[in-house]
Chain A
Amino acid sequence: VQLLESGGGLAQPGGSLSLSCAASGFPFSNHAMSWVRQAPGKGLEWVSIISGSGGSIYYEDSVKGRFTISRENPKNTLYLQMNSLRAEDTAVYYCAKSPSALTWLPPYYFDFWGQGTVVTVSS
């Protein structure tokens, strides 16, 4: 199993960034995928999850209306489009794999994580 995030970098407040997570080593469409972030020196914070089919999506309250999660199963790739960025969005963003394809039923944990990509929001 391998998850490789990319797309991080420096963005201005109010700006946008698009993250990608390339997956390999497992049947991508059979697994829900999440984005989890970690601000500098802080703890983990779940951001969003998408089901294996892409038909079910949930967001953490602070990113609703600003972030959009999506996936392209034929390309084994997960995305996070981040708009209206704020300083408090500065963090390492990890993609994380769920054991099943569903979001609304258990299991509720992440069995594999990528190494993360750094997002910095600053003027």
Chain B
Amino acid sequence: QSALTQPASVSGSPGQSITISCTGTSSDVGGYNYVSWYQQHPGKAPKLMIFDVNNRPSGVSDRFSGSKSGNTASLTISGLQAEDEADYYCSSYRSSSTLYVFGTGTKVTVL
């Protein structure tokens, strides 16, 4: 299965905003509003941060927001904090026998 495309790394200073892109096709990201984002700290389990493009689960900071335009979804982290340093993965429903596809992952570094 071909993964969704994310930048390998994104960095920012504390307090700044950063945006991570996630590019797919019309069979996944572009065709459905079923994009989710996960945060993974080293050696830890992934944690759901955004679902259905722009919805936050209870308990997730409102500094995290999601959006989508065409075949590209985005995760924005505003007011960057040291604890946000982690790997981030997007995921989407895909209209094939393989229901789910993940992105290649983005390492966020807080300078």
Determine if A20 is an interface residue (Cβ-Cβ < 8 Å). no
Determine if B102 is an interface residue (Cβ-Cβ < 8 Å). yes
Determine if A94 is an interface residue (Cβ-Cβ < 8 Å). yes
Contact indicator B48/A110 (Cβ below 8 Å)? yes
Contacts of B104 in A (CB 8 A): 43
Contacts of A113 in B (CB 8 A): 45-47
CA distance A94 to B46 in the complex (A): 9
CA distance A111 to B36 in the complex (A): 10
Contacts of A43 in B (CB 8 A): 3, 89, 102-105
Contacts of B34 in A (CB 8 A): 106-109
13 contacts between A and B (CB under 8 A): A43-B103, A44-B89, A44-B102, A45-B102, A46-B91, A46-B98, A49-B100, A58-B99, A108-B93, A108-B100, A109-B91, A110-B48, A110-B91
